Amino acid sequence: MTLTFTPLPQMPLIYPGDNLPDLLLAALQTARVTLDDGDILVVAQKIVSKAEGRMVNLTTVTPSKEALELAKRSEKDPRLVELILSESKEVLRVRPGTIIVEHRLGFVCASAGIDHSNVRGTSGNPEDWVLLLPEDPDHSALEIRRRIKVATGNRIGVLIIDSHGRAWRLGTIGTAIGISGLPGVVDERGWQDLFGYRLKITTVAAADELAAAASLVMGEAAEGIPAVHVRGFPYPLRESSLRELIRSKKNDMFR
């Protein structure tokens, strides 16, 4: 098995309303990559959020009483805390500098995924601009996939990823937040190992594994590579969604 990751550089800075599928197709052409059925495009959340107009200027935000109280505990800007609350179902942990929440999409992350890195607004103080996650990343992935299929005829998968921390381990890792056309989880129960033993509990977070590998190619700072073409994914493509990867609360031993 050969799994190939090809970075798609030279994509322009993304602004609200930009046509991401067209820009991705142009980037593929620049990288001299021809799409085949079964290929996957891994796309950084930031360019999806920017194209969908998810930038917010903190000067437009009025913090609530709850946000003001939580800002004192976390030592964060109350306006940012208000946005975190608006994007969250529940606040799980708080300490100075960190707020861990259950995002409205179901996963657990810091600051509801709201970020300032590589974000610059159109006016005012650059420090006042932040970027929220896409409203519906699964739908965003589906739309990119659908429009690329219309343009090329190819059956591909699309994965939208973000950088998340993990329980019990240091460092962030690329994580799937939007999935279309590829499995989130692969159930290997019943598969045989080298010695004929049948697996009983093994399920593989295939989308997260792919997200982590693509994240190495993208980088986290000034690399300017917000999308990666993948060929050789070892599992059949199929319909899926982020829900496959979300552990239910009753089975969550880490909260």
Q: In degrees to the nearest 10, what's the CA dihedral of 136, 115, 172, 6?
A: 70
Q: Are 3 and 233 in contact (CB under 8 A)?
A: yes
Angstrom distance (rounded) from CA 38 to CA 182: 9
What local confidence, expressed as pLDDT, does residue 43 receive? 98
Mean pLDDT of the chain: 92
What local confidence, expressed as pLDDT, does residue 222 receive? 57
Structure tokens given for 211: 């997200």
Band of pLDDT at residue 250, cut at 50, 70 and 90: confident
Checking if the pLDDT of 114 tops 80, the result is yes
Q: Are 140 and 50 in contact (CB under 8 A)?
A: no
Q: In degrees to the nearest 10, what's the CA dihedral of 225, 164, 61, 143?
A: 60
Band of pLDDT at residue 119, cut at 50, 70 and 90: confident
Band of pLDDT at residue 221, cut at 50, 70 and 90: low
How many alpha carbons lie under 13 Å from residue 227 in its C-beta half-sphere? 28
Range 135-140 average pLDDT: 98
What local confidence, expressed as pLDDT, does residue 28 receive? 97
Checking if the pLDDT of 193 tops 90, the result is no
| % helix, strand, coil for the chain, step of 5 | 30, 25, 40
Band of pLDDT at residue 97, cut at 50, 70 and 90: very high
Q: Are 90 and 102 in contact (CB under 8 A)?
A: yes
Task: Calculate what percentage of the chain has a pLDDT beyond 90.
Answer: 77
Checking if the pLDDT of 223 tops 70, the result is no
What local confidence, expressed as pLDDT, does residue 192 receive? 73
Domains of the chain with CATH codes: 4-52+134-245 (3.30.1330.100), 55-131 (3.90.1660.10)
Structure tokens given for 59: 């000067």
Structure tokens given for 218: 């993208």
Checking if the pLDDT of 130 tops 60, the result is yes
Checking if the pLDDT of 120 tops 90, the result is no
Range 42-71 average pLDDT: 96
Which residues, in sequence order, are CB contacts of 88 under 8 Å at separation 6+? 101, 102, 103, 104, 112
Range in 5-9, 11-15, 131-135, 218-222 the model is least confident about: 218-222
Checking if the pLDDT of 145 tops 90, the result is yes
Checking if the pLDDT of 143 tops 80, the result is yes
Neighbours of 22 (CB within 10 A): 12
Q: Are 142 and 158 in contact (CB under 8 A)?
A: yes
Range 129-141 average pLDDT: 97
* Phi/psi-derived region of residue 171, left when phi > 0, alpha when psi is between -120 and 50, beta in every other case: left
Range in 12-21, 54-63, 119-128, 209-218 the model is least confident about: 119-128
**Residues 11-48 pLDDT 10s:** 899 999 999 999 999 999 999 999 999 999 999 999 99
**Residues 76-93 pLDDT 10s:** 999 999 999 999 999 999
Neighbours of 196 (CB within 10 A): 6
